[in-house]
Amino acid sequence: MISTKQIAVSLMSVVLLLAAGVSYVYFKSRAQASPDSWPTAQFTPEVWRSAAKEERFLLYNDLAARKVLEGKTKSDVVTLLGKPDFEAPDGRYITYVVKAASPNEYTLNAIYLLHIDLDEKGDVKKYFIRAK
C-alpha cells in the first residue's frame, strides 16, 4: 500500500518538474525576445520600407545604435519608415511591426513592435521594442 507521504513526495516531484519546464520556456523566450540577441543589418529608409514587416527586426539595432529617430518629428519618422502600422487615437505614440515569432521559436510573445512615444508637439520622446 502507498503511504500518504509517498503520494505527497510524488506530487511534489511533478510540481517541481512542471515549474522547471515553465521556467525554461519563460527564460528562453525572454532571451529570444531581447533585441540584443537579434542579428543586425544596416538601416536605411529604403531597406526598411521594402522589407517585410516581420523582417524589420534585422534593422532595429542599427537604427537604435545610430539614434536615427532622436530629434525627429512624427512627420520625419513617417518619411523615414513609412506609414505606421498603428497610431494611437490620442496621438501619443505610433508603432511598427518589426518581428513575428517563427513556429520553431520558443516565445511567449507572438509579435514585436517598434513603439515610438511622441510628445505633445509630435516630436519623438523615446522609442523601444515592445512585445505583444
How far from 7 is each of 3, 13, 14, 21, CA to CA, in Å?
6, 10, 11, 21
Phi, psi of 35 (to 5 degrees): -55, -25
Q: Does the pTM of the predicted model rise above 0.75?
A: no
Q: Which residues contact 40 (CB under 8 A, 6 or more apart)?
A: 58, 59, 61, 62
pLDDT the model gives residue 13: 53
pLDDT the model gives residue 28: 40
pLDDT the model gives residue 10: 58
pLDDT the model gives residue 56: 96
Produce one character per residue of 103-114: b if its CB has 16 or more CB atoms within 10 Å, e if not: eeeebebebbbb
Distance, CA of 4 to CA of 2 (rounded, Å): 7
| Per-residue confidence in pLDDT tens, the chain, 132 aa | 777 776 666 566 555 444 444 433 333 444 445 788 899 999 999 999 999 999 999 999 999 999 999 999 999 999 999 999 999 999 999 999 999 876 565 555 578 999 999 999 999 999 999 988
pLDDT the model gives residue 100: 86
Produce one character per residue of 57-75: b if its CB has 16 or more CB atoms within 10 Å, e if not: bbbbbebbeeebbeebebe
